[in-house]
Amino acid sequence: MNVPLMPLLLLLPGMVVAGPAATVPVPSAPAMKIAPATVAGGPRVSEAWIAEAPPAARHNAAYLVLRNGSRADTLVAVETPVAEVAEIHEMRQEKGLTRMRREATMELAPDAELRLQPGGRHIMLINMKRALKPGERVPLTLRFRKAGLIVIDAEVRPLAVDVEAADPHAHHHGH
């Protein structure tokens, strides 16, 4: 029943058809520069996690820490196999309300440290493809303008069951 699209597409670049309309753009292979969560001189990604969500939840969020190296870079995209779309989001106060806003990119100044955490910036996971189990590790692929792709596993943390664990600042001091 499935139309065999792939053989057809593979044939297209070789087909000789008159007219400029026959030009089929062949996507150039992206530079698959997949590295562990470290690139020399570039940003490092660590402490990535996602909170367990109710099974019916369509969206979720991922958090992580970005520590940049000595050169400025820009986070331009995030992908994960468990969500249809991943977006960079920022929280803004508007007229007394906290709103999420999509940011197309995230700038990383030299040696900057950015903490994406609950109540602040996050990676919004839109239209989850499946529920996540506590303890499982979910790959996040971050695309930086200069450093290329960095893949990190985000740990799925169980839903907080008490106030101490629910407080994202519980382990930070001096706030």
CB 35 within 8 A of CB 148: yes
Least distance from Cu ion to the Cβ atom of residue 107, Å: 18
100 binds Cu ion (CB under 5 A): yes
3-state secondary structure of 20: helix
Nearest one of 74, 76, 46, 73 to 62, comparing CA atoms: 46
Least distance from Cu ion to the Cβ atom of residue 14, Å: 45
Q: Of 39 and 140, which has the nearer Cβ to Cu ion?
A: 140
89 binds Cu ion (CB under 5 A): yes
Window contacting Cu ion (CB under 5 A); options: 40-48, 82-90, 128-136, 144-152? 82-90
Nearest one of 135, 173, 169, 171 to 155, comparing CA atoms: 135
Least distance from Cu ion to the Cβ atom of residue 159, Å: 18
CB 73 within 8 A of CB 39: no
Q: Of 89 and 108, which has the nearer Cβ to Cu ion?
A: 89
Binds Cu ion (CB under 5 A): choice among 51, 86, 124, 152: 124
DSSP 165: H
Nearest one of 129, 167, 162, 159 to 49, comparing CA atoms: 159
Least distance from Cu ion to the Cβ atom of residue 122, Å: 6
Window contacting Cu ion (CB under 5 A); options: 29-37, 87-95, 146-154, 157-165? 87-95
Least distance from Cu ion to the Cβ atom of residue 90, Å: 8
Distance of CA 41 to the CA centre of its chain: 21
CB 147 within 8 A of CB 37: no
Q: Of 108 and 121, which has the nearer Cβ to Cu ion?
A: 121
121 binds Cu ion (CB under 5 A): no
CA–CA distance, 43 with 56 (Å, rounded to integer): 34
Residues near Cu ion (CB under 5 A) are 89, 100, 124
